[in-house]
Amino acid sequence: MSKLLTRFLKSPWVIIGVTLIVTVMFFFVMKDNSRMETNLDKYMPESNPAFIYSDKAEAIFGIKDGIIVAVENQDGIFNAETLDTLKQLTKALQKMKQINKDDVTSLYTADNIVGTDDGLDVKRFYKRVPKSKEKLDALRKNVLSNEMVYGRMVSKNEKVAIIIAEIGKDVFSQKFYYEILNLTKKYQTDKIKIHVAGRPIVEGEMALLGPKDMKKMVPIVILVIAVVLFLILRSFKSTLLTLGVVFFSTIWAFGLMALLKIPIYAVSTMIPVMLIAIGVAYSVHLYNHLQLFINENPEVTKKEAVVDMIKAMWSPVMMAAVTTAVGFISLLTSQVYPIKYFGLFTAFGVAVAWILSVTFIPAGIMVFGLPKRREIKDKNDENSFLYKIAAKVLKRKSLTIIITSVIVVLSVIGMQKIWINSSFLDKFEKDSDIVMTDKFINENFGGTTMLNLILDAGENPDAFKNPKLLSLTDEMQKKVVKDLKVVGNSFSLADFIDRMNKVMNADKEAFNKIPNSKDMIAQYLLLYEMSGDPENLNKVVNYDYTKLNVTFQLKSDNSKAINSALDILKTYKDDFKKYGVTMNYAGSGYKGLVFTDLILEGQVMSLILSLFIVIILLALMFKSFKAGLLGSVPIVITALISFGVMGFLNIPLNTTTALLSSIAIGIGIDYAVHFIEQYKNFAKETNRNMLLTAKKTMANSGRAIIYNAVVVIAGFLVLLFSVFPPNRELGALVSLNMFTSFAGTLTILLVLLSITKMYSKKNKK
């Protein structure tokens, strides 16, 4: 293959021209077809059994994610101005084409179940805005005496009222997001503040900030990489050609994504940073070899220098690219779409960066000339820094092994503390508007995250008219709310029955419970259907009363909060089983929890698969299984250290940090590939003198590895400027990975090569 490439050097302008044409084509495809995925449900595999059941339950009970609009007045909401704002804003939301009129609920539309001389009546709290003190006081009294509204639609401090506008799965868009924000702003006054929250708003904010973050990050990373590259390469031409490679590979990756109609997810915005940081590594190794060659051969022609560079570096650069791509391709084992596609298109970008490195850069050198020859300290100088490092490492083998072992043990201890976070809100700054708004609503109401428990009685009609079964449901709801601060409220058919029983018994609190008679419950339900809006019951029970939807409101959307609620709910499993009732779960809160399990499962599979494939590839490349095992040691240690640090620093696994192991293996293995390749070559050159082999390998490959690590670390540290905390965490962790990978390669790998006497035996020939 290297011979074929040297032939292409006869027409360098053809290589440059084809590269530019393909890049322009991909750019316009990307420009016209790229789109940001804003629906968090699209992050999850629809074929998963948990999601299939959840979707069915959502269809039965009309479970939808809601936009929560909070109307706040510090003077209280029971005044004409605030109540009118609540009414007008409710009607404005009902008129939006993306929202079904019946799916907007507020104090203005809510049903007030009251007892009358004739039985049961269901009416609105108000149609016309009350203005007199008497009418306002009467409204306030009605609200405060209704447990189905007080604390749910109106805060207990009486300063905030909420509107919940439920929307369908496929109606939310960036345009709709802006319409909601602009609409609510119109109703703000000096006294009345409007707060907007809910999962759709989180989706909209992510879709808004993601592209902005990418636009900010890419110029910064290019600038940082350019500066570091120039300091290393000391050549303006070499720096520009290297940046061209990573820039083109990024365009090709996003162009292919757009061509295949794959959307851009939040995590996809990090692909440019990844490719820029990774892609320069191949160029660094190429230019390092080129500089050493022209330093030793000052009279060499540019063609001779380029041919030597390709012949010498073709194999190690190819091996590094293949192993890096494998690390990312292993992410295809994940069922989480953003992670799967991140791995696929980053691997494609890596492949493009490799191809352009061995074609575009040689062509560029042929057209624009060799970089200037720089004086490099004699690589055979016994007093050189890298020679001394190699000698000290080999002299203190036992110390290196002991220190490495201690670090591994500590890392394993730290790994035990890792937890998985399903929260989408934790992707934002804690003091950001969206997080503060969510916190405000959680402080005043039950919570913005919904967990739906579906109780299923099978083929037993009217099962949920059974007073014992409803009493058990009522008891479970109250226990969860009482025992867990993170659960602010719950709602089910039991709440309707409690309320109806109370108002039918002169509003006496003693009757705020499930009646003992099944006939009485059936009568209450009949009265409600005749007097109120029977559609409201459809959200809590199905038509034949065989399935019940119990909704729990949580004040946090992370997995710890949801699991704590599930732990209590599961204690009732046997109690419900006595009545032939099974427990299942649905809704966005539960889907988020399943999402975290898929992240962990994908992480484990990706780690095992990528490690296995890398060992096999290394064994094939070096024709030695021992070499494959030794080459994997630094990256295994690196992965352990990174997870250990995550555990000790309480950094959770999420859709972003779940990429860590594959990145660690994919990038970190490059150092081992180059080091072992050079070690093998110098073992032959030095006639199996292992000390001299180690010194020469350290002086040549070690030098390039250090440069490589500096560039990659600098590139990933740019993620510290991201607006998303998980991106910053990933940037810091990957930078740590690169440091530990190159440090492990130059220490423990060197020691292991020496101890195992790898390449120390002469060939029989």
> Scanning the structure block, which residue is given the tokens 């609009």?
69
Would you say residue 763 has pLDDT above 60? no
Lowest mean pLDDT among 7-21, 197-211, 293-307, 430-444: 197-211
Q: Do the domain assignments include residue 604? A: no
Tell me if 747 sits within 8 A of 653, measured CB to CB: no
Q: Do the domain assignments include residue 155? A: yes
pLDDT at 52: 86
316 lies in the same domain as 251: yes
Would you say residue 277 has pLDDT above 80? no
pLDDT at 209: 80
Q: Do the domain assignments include residue 703? A: yes
Q: Do the domain assignments include residue 747? A: yes
Would you say residue 383 has pLDDT above 70? no
pLDDT at 765: 39
pLDDT at 38: 65
388 lies in the same domain as 498: no
716 CB-near residues (< 8 Å, 6+ apart): 273, 277, 730, 731, 734, 735, 738
pLDDT tens, position by position, 661-675: 777 777 778 888 888
DSSP, residue by residue, 386-402: HHHHHHHHHHTHHHHHH
Q: Do the domain assignments include residue 603? A: no
Would you say residue 623 has pLDDT above 90? no
pLDDT at 380: 53
14 lies in the same domain as 72: no
123 lies in the same domain as 266: no
pTM (whole model) above 0.85: no
pLDDT tens, position by position, 461-508: 999 999 999 999 999 999 999 999 889 999 999 999 999 999 998 888
* Averaged pLDDT for residues 224-247: 88
Would you say residue 421 has pLDDT above 70? yes
Would you say residue 381 has pLDDT above 70? no
* Averaged pLDDT for residues 406-418: 92
Tell me if 159 sits within 8 A of 74, measured CB to CB: yes
Label residue 407 exposed, middle or buried (CB < 10 Å: 0-12, 13-18, 19+): middle
* Averaged pLDDT for residues 3-13: 70
Q: Do the domain assignments include residue 56? A: no
Q: Give me 755's structure tokens.
A: 């101890």
Would you say residue 379 has pLDDT above 60? no
Would you say residue 177 has pLDDT above 60? yes
177 lies in the same domain as 227: no
pLDDT at 376: 56
Task: For Cα atoms 478, 483, 486, give the angle at the middle one, nearest 5 degrees.
Answer: 100
pLDDT at 760: 72
689 lies in the same domain as 761: yes
pLDDT at 719: 85
Would you say residue 6 has pLDDT above 80? no
Which H or E run includes 629? helix 625-648
d(CA 395, CA 747): 11
pLDDT tens, position by position, 730-753: 889 888 988 998 899 999 999 998
pLDDT tens, position by position, 114-152: 887 777 888 889 999 999 999 999 999 999 999 889 999
* Averaged pLDDT for residues 371-384: 62
259 lies in the same domain as 337: yes
Among 203, 235, 267, which residue terminates a domain? 203
d(CA 108, CA 90): 7
| Count, residues in the chain | 765
Q: Do the domain assignments include residue 499? A: yes
pLDDT at 452: 93
pLDDT tens, position by position, 423-445: 778 888 888 888 899 899 999 99
SS (H, E, C) 648-702: HCCCCECCCHHHHHHHHHHHHHHHHHHHHHHHHHHHHHCCCCHHHHHHHHHHHHH
218 lies in the same domain as 362: yes
pLDDT at 420: 78
DSSP secondary-structure letter at 260? T
pLDDT at 95: 92
Residue 40's pLDDT band (boundaries 50, 70, 90)?
low
d(CA 748, CA 466): 69
538 lies in the same domain as 492: yes
Among 179, 203, 227, which residue terminates a domain? 203
pLDDT at 582: 95
* Rounded percentage of the chain residues whose pLDDT exceeds 70: 96
Tell me if 555 sits within 8 A of 488, measured CB to CB: yes
Would you say residue 527 has pLDDT above 50? yes
User: Which segments within 506-561 are labelled E, that is strand?
Assistant: 547-554
Domain that holds residue 723: 382-416+624-765
What CATH number is attached to the domain comprising 700? 1.20.1640.10
684 lies in the same domain as 708: yes
The more confident residue out of 205 and 29 is: 29
Lowest mean pLDDT among 103-112, 240-249, 714-723: 714-723
Q: What is the phi/psi pair of residue 547, to 5°? A: -135, 140
SS3 548: strand
655 lies in the same domain as 558: no
The more confident residue out of 83 and 762 is: 83
Q: Do the domain assignments include residue 456? A: yes
| Number of domains, the chain | 4
501 lies in the same domain as 552: yes
Among 150, 181, 203, which residue terminates a domain? 203
